[in-house]
Structure 1
Amino acid sequence: MKKKVFKLEVLKKEQVSAEAVSLFFKIPLAEKKAFHFKPGQFLTIIHTLEGESLRRSYSICNDITDNSYVQIGVKKVKNGRMSRFLNEEVKVGDYLAVEVPMGRFTAELDSTQYKSYYFFAAGSGITPILSMVKSVLSVEPYSRVYVLYGNRNQEQIMFKGDLEILSERFADRFTIIYLLSQPIRSWSELWSTKTDFVYRKGRVDAINIAWFIKEYPPYAQNALYFICGPGSMIANTKARLLGMDVPENRIAIERFGNLGTDVQSKGGMAATAKVYIDEQVYELKLKQGITILKALLNSGATPPYSCEGGVCGACACKLVKGAVLMANNSVLTEEELNAGWILSCQSTANSKKLEVVFEREK
């Protein structure tokens, strides 16, 4: 159950926007199987800064057809220690501790499929979507891809170069529309009737989503919809799609933000918990407001986890006895919740006794 940690060499580092870099990690021949990934998954980087071990998840950006390296995108976040470290200090030739790919926000590809893929991204939400776009275009020659990508201005667009290359190479199957809420305009542009960079002013909102799908209707009736960005953008985009009669089971979401939070709930109660991880059984005493994950880590256990924000799903486990309160859930479906799945990083006790099982991955 515990994810093995590998030391990977930084093969290349590129600036992909004014505030973001892309890191390329070399995958040793012996580890290629371990680092096989699905488009949309993420890597977890572990590094000690100022005496504290930090874990942060970053989406994989490259095409699944090339497994000689794995690439991530990292946007610098204000007060984000790991993101600043990766942007400002890491250099080519450095080695970083990295866990194998994980994540549920993925596209299942098949070369015989005939689909329309709609992607809605804001800011760094383009990172997992870029991997899916590249992979769909490479693997599924009969499918078409449509991307609506929002940013504050031109300088904030991550991977614009990659996206423009895809636009040229797959002009018949790939469409991208850039939305800018506060575009930068030069004096020359004010007097020009033409600009090299084409965009729409606005955000990824109900009006632009409706326009986008009307302008680019599904090429194939088998259409899928992927959304990635901050919380409000996720909720608004999903609501608009549902309002356009898109079936909920055709919508996949990945929420960016709230990573690394330390959940302390005023609700719940003190409890005892029996937790099964592989062949180990842990008997825990949970204080009121302490999550199952935090209690496990304090006991010396090694459960699977990554973001600690209820976003990635890496710490999901099954509650077989008792009740919990979940502070946040951005990944488990209604069916999974009904089947007893919980996020240990967000769950505090709501009954005196708990029994939890971390199931082995298939």
Structure 2
Amino acid sequence: MATEDSYLLKVAEIVRETADAVSVVFEVPSGESATFDFKPGQFLTLGVPSDQTGLVARAYSICTPPGDGLAVTVKRTAEGYASNWINDNLKAGDTLRVLPPSGIFTPKSLDTDLLLLAGGSGVTPIMSIARHALEHGEGRITVFYANRDENSVIFAEKLRELAAANPERLQVIHWLESVQGLPTAEQLKAFLAQYDGWTSFCCGPAPFMKMVQTALKELEVPRERRHQEKFISLGGNPFGDVEEVLAAQATIAEADDAENAEGAPEDEPAVAGPVAVEVELDGEQFSFVDWDGRQHLLDFLESKGVNAPFSCREGECSACACMILEGDLSMTRNDVLEKEDLEDGIRLSCQARALTEKVRVTYNG
């Protein structure tokens, strides 16, 4: 059942992975199988019930490889309303409102050598990528997985099984804080230096990802061979005017529009157009010469029938992220990309406006 761009999916199974993490397996209706096709490394945005807001939107990575069902893994966080609700309340037979898969944290080729780095629950998209690459690719794979202790290792048994079944292609390296302490920048850099020429994917806590990216840059690994997953909890409502939200809005005060407007950051002046724009998406090339550069790039692409990825439309997640190959883009709002991301040419297309008369971008990571 769909409302706007969201769907109500039935929970087929809850799998307890560790004491503080569960995998939620969804049942996808046969008529919506194409809608929920996904690439390894992508995520789902879930609408978790809330007494205050009707729904809170949270993004969780898909842990399964394409063709092996649809499931996300959710680890409990100390102050996380949604993660605690899912771990404590969700059960088989329940339904959740879900947006279709999103994200560009996915390999262009499954035949390249992949260095997959995970911290804690960041192993979720890494697991999807590793399993898919083992089944459909030919490259070597190394998984570096950092955790607090042995009991917090998600997918421990599955990783052992995969390594035993693929000894020539897969190596799994566990780093436990309880045994080795937190990895230092020097230790990580020395480890990464062994994988010259490999393509890296990193997901985990922000300090872990920053340390990995800093080390890779110091090793002069080119941008096209280093990838990191990044999304945050959404403050807005990407689910449209669904009944859950409308019911809650009737019982709480409206947000102060004037205050929100005062806090909105101003971007640089945009080119009025016409702007020539070229887009790489899912192996296809799109070219247009009539973009009014003051219009957000995502809105323009949708007006041309291009199925560009997005989730929140508010600059609060990275579902719509693209990378500049030529020209430049400003953003009306940005709550997720850091200075290093901007320097690497990453922009949120839902907030992007043209700064040059020609722009070329890619959604292919």
Please name the residue that 1:207 is paired with.
186
Q: Give the TM-score normalised by the residue count of structure 2.
A: 0.69
Q: For residues 56-91 of structure 1, what are the alpha-carbon distances to aligned partners after superposition, in whole Å with 9 as ceiling and x for unaligned?
A: 11000111133xx20110001122111111111011
The structure-2 alpha-carbon separation of the partners of 1:234 and 1:65, relative to structure 1 and needing over 3 Å to count, comes to: same
Q: Give the structure 2 partner of residue 158 of structure 1.
A: 154
Aligned residue for 1:227, secondary structure, equals: strand
CA positional deviation for 1:132: 0.3
| Shift in Å, 1:19 | 0.8
Distance 1:326 1:98, change over 3 A: closer
How far the C-alpha of 1:306 sits from its partner, in A, is: 3.8
Question: Unpaired segments of 5 or more residues in structure 2?
Answer: 237-258, 268-293, 304-308, 354-360
State the distance in 1 between where 2:117 and 2:95 align: 33
Count of residue pairs brought into register by the alignment: 295
Q: Which letter maps to 1:62?
A: T
Q: Residue 78 of structure 1 corresponds to which residue in structure 2?
A: 78
What is the correspondence of 1:65-104 to structure 2 with a 5 Å cutoff? 65-66=67-68, 69-104=69-104
User: For 1:125-164, what aligned pairs fall within 5 Å after superposition?
Assistant: 125-140=122-137, 142-164=138-160
Does the alignment pair 1:236 with 2:211? yes
Contact 1:21/1:74 (8 A) holds in 2: yes
State the match for 2:319 in structure 1: 313
Map of 2:277 onto structure 1:
none
Q: Secondary structure at the match of 2:91?
A: coil
Q: Structure 1 stretches of 5 or more lacking a match?
A: 184-200, 280-302, 350-358
Alpha-carbon distance in 1 for matches of 2:13, 2:330 = 49
Identity, in percent, stands at 26
Q: Which amino acid counterpart does residue 329 of structure 1 have in structure 2? A: L
Q: Which residue of 2 aligns with 1:40?
A: 41
Distance 1:204 1:121, change over 3 A: farther
**Cα distance between partner residues in 2 of 1:161 and 1:86:** 23
Matched, 1:173 2:179: no
> Match for 2:337 among 329, 337, 341?
329
Query: 2: distance between equivalents of 1:304 and 1:240?
Result: 30
**Which residue of 2 is the match for residue 259 of structure 1?**
233
1:226 aligns with 2:222: no
Give RMSD over aligned pairs. 3.8
The 8 Å contact of residues 329 and 343 in structure 1, kept in 2 or not, is answered as no
How far apart are residue 328 of structure 1 and its match? 3.7
The offset of 1:274, in angstroms, is: 7.2
Query: Partners in 2 of 1:325 and 1:44 — Cα distance?
Result: 20
Alpha-carbon distance in 1 for matches of 2:345, 2:151: 40
- The structure-2 alpha-carbon separation of the partners of 1:92 and 1:154, relative to structure 1 and needing over 3 Å to count, comes to same
Query: Whole-Å Cα distance in 1 between the matches of residues 19 and 329 of structure 2?
Result: 49
TM-score when scaled to structure 1? 0.69
- Structure 2 residue matching 1:134: 3-state secondary structure: helix
